[in-house]
Structure formats: C-alpha cells, structure tokens
Amino acid sequence: MKGRVVVTGGGTGGHLKVAKAFVEEFHKRGIPVIFIGSKNGQDEAWFKDDRKVKKAFFLDTKGVVNKNLWGKIKSLFQILKETNRCMDIFDKAEVGTVISVGGFSAAPATFASILSMGCDLFIHEQNSKMGKLNELTSRFAKEIFSSYLPSSLVKDYPVSSEFFDNARVRERINAIIFLGGSQGAVAINNFALSVASKLDSLGIKIIHQTGRVDYERVKKEYEKLNINADVFDFTPDIAKKMSQADFAISRSGASTLWELSANSLPAMFVPFPHAAQDHQYYNAKFLKDKGLCFICREKNLSVEVLDKILASDINSMSKGLIDSVGCDAIESIVDIIVENN
C-alpha cells in the first residue's frame, strides 16, 4: 500500500457499519488502519476500543446541515481547524490513502486528503442521493463506490456475512419483524401496536425492535393487549432476529435495506420523512422499481396496507432478492484500492 491507510466517517450506524467493514478487511490482509471520526455521534462507541484499528482519533466536529446560520459558521470553522490537525496526523503517520464513508465525521480527513500532496481519496457513498460532503469532494476522488451509481466499479453494498449465512426463501408470512433502527421509529412502533391484535389472531408472530427511548412504552402496550411479542430495544444479533421473520416493516437506511436483501427477507419500507434529500425513499425506490419491496409513507400506514402485504406473493419477492446484492463487496472494493496504490 502507498503509505498508511485512513478510514474516516461515521456519525450514524449506517456510515459506521461500512467503516467497520473496511477496517476488518484491511486488518484481515495485515494492513494497519487509522480511524478518524468525531467525538459527537456514535464513532467512539464503535472504534475507541477496537483492536483492529492501529490508532483512532476522535475530533470535535459537528454536522452543518439543519443548523441556523451561526451554527453553520461555527461547525465549518471547527471542521477547518480539525482539517489542519488531520494534515499533521497524515504527515507524521505518512498517510497515502484515505477512504471516506461520509457523514460529518469524515469532513476534516477528507479535506486533508485533498490538500495533502500524494494522498489518494476513495469514497463510499451509501445512499441513492449523494451526501453533501461526498458531492463536494467527489471530483477529487480516485474512485467512488456506490450501489446506486452506474459508474461504480463495485455496485454491491458491504454487508456482514451473517446476513447471507442466515438467508432463506420465504414461502408465507408466519412472523413479521418491525425495525425502526437502534434509535427507534415512533411511527413504525405505533403502526405495529395498531395491527398487533390482528396479527396475533392470525397466528403471526411479532418481532419488534423499538429503539431505546420507546422500549418501555411499547412493551407495556403489548402486555395490555396480552400479546407475547418478541420486543427489544437493541441487539447486536439483529441478523438472527431477521432470519426468524418472513416479512419486515422497516426504515430504509442503506445498511438495513441491504441487510434485509442479503437475508432474502421481503420488506415494506417506511422512509424517514426528514432524511436529507429524502434519500431513504429513493434507497427503497431502487428495489421497488425491480418489484423487490413495498414502500409506504408514514402518513399512509393503515390496516389496509397490512392486508395488502398479507395477500402479496412474498415468495417471488424473496427469490428475487437472492441476487440483489453480492456477498464479496468489501473484498472487491479493497482489491481495487490496493491495486490503485
């Protein structure tokens, strides 16, 4: 490799899952990696004690989007300050390759890679709508990897092997999993509770990830309904939970969408309505256009929507998902990065 490798980005689980996939693949090949993230967000929880990382730096950066003018100015000033720090890190560690997975955490190291002489930038864009940082810096990248860009050399999404290992073709709906992500989704939680009695009367098992904030409320509501649902706030073993289900009702962040696809688990996606550029809708639309999922806006969730799902041909959808994502994406991407150095 040309100099040391830096993996940067994060803030949310979707970005961090991809960052972790890169770290693990480089570690497997005996190539040491430096991780650069932020003190704000989930970055430290993921990488502070990760022994597969040679060294980790957590910078004092915050997002620029959805802030007032003064907030944007402060965030941009801090990003510029931390960019200088990254250039010092690059110089001392002799960094030659930077891989950005996006998110505000990636800004300083990404800008530093552009300003540093002889440093190659590679970008992985998770979503169907390119994030502002990646959009701004993509012209300087040696290669951009994306499941949605026609020009991407690798279109498969980095998904952990456990989701493929537990994959199976679904024949009928005996269990439904509701997924709002680790932070939860109140709209999905409320929809699950509104149709719980019907599902229970049909003998359909309910598996429900509520998110930490809404866990107690949702759990008590199931108890009031006298329904024995599998309710949890968060689990590191989500692949096993998915494998037990025959259908998913879920947000459509890129990581979750492709994990469900790898598991051949048909889904109805309920996009987060405030996602930047409505990217969760377009993530799901990519599969919907191929007949491989349903999409429903939060405001349209109803019992009638559930009836449509229960009457659908999930077997064909499940079979169609088998070839929707390959299992060797991260290996292929790292191969290209190594060959370019």
| Residue from 280, 263, 262, 267 nearest 325 by CA | 262
What is the three-class DSSP state of 83?
helix
DSSP-derived 3-state class of residue 16: helix
- Alpha-carbon distances of 73 from 37, 62, 63, 157, 253, rounded to whole Å: 20, 11, 11, 34, 28
- 318 assigned binding-site residue: no
SS3 of 12, please?
coil
- Consult the annotation and say whether 13 binds a ligand: yes
Is 12 annotated as ligand-binding?
yes
- Residue 244 is assigned to a ligand binding site: no
What is the DSSP track for 230-277?
A: EEES--TTHHHHHHT-SEEEE---HHHHHHHHHTT--EEE---TTSGG
- Residue 182 counted as an annotated binding residue: yes
Is 312 within any annotated ligand binding site?
no
Q: Which residues participate in the annotated binding site?
A: 12-14, 127, 182, 280
Q: Which residues participate in the annotated binding site for UDP-N-acetyl-alpha-D-glucosamine?
A: 12-14, 127, 182, 280
